[in-house]
Chains A and B, each alone.
Chain A
Amino acid sequence: MAGGSGRPLTAGVRAERGRLLVSIAQLTPALAYFALFYVGPLLVLVYISFLTFRNFQFVEPLSFNNYANVVTSETFRVLFSRTVLLSLLSAVLAIAIAYPFTYIITFVFPGRSRSLYFLILVALFGGYLVRIYAWRTILGVEGVINGTLMTLGVIEEPIREILNGPFAVVVSMVNFLVPLAVLPIYAAMQNVSPGVIEAARDLGSSRLQVTRRVILPLVLPGVLVAFAFCFIAAAGDFAIPALLGGVESPFIGNQIQFQIGQTSNWPLAAAMATTLIALVVLIVAGVALVARRVIR
Chain B
Amino acid sequence: MDVKYLNPIIAATDSVFQTMLSVKPEKGEVSIQEDLVTDKEANVIIGMTGDIKGSIVYSFSKEMALKVVEAMSGMEMEELDKFVTSAMGELGNIISGKATTGLAEQDLSCDIAPPQIVTGKNINISSEADKVLMVKFNTDLGEFDVGFSIN
A and B held together in a complex: no
Give me the interface of A with B, judged by CB distance under 8 Å.
none
Give me the interface of B with A, judged by CB distance under 8 Å.
none
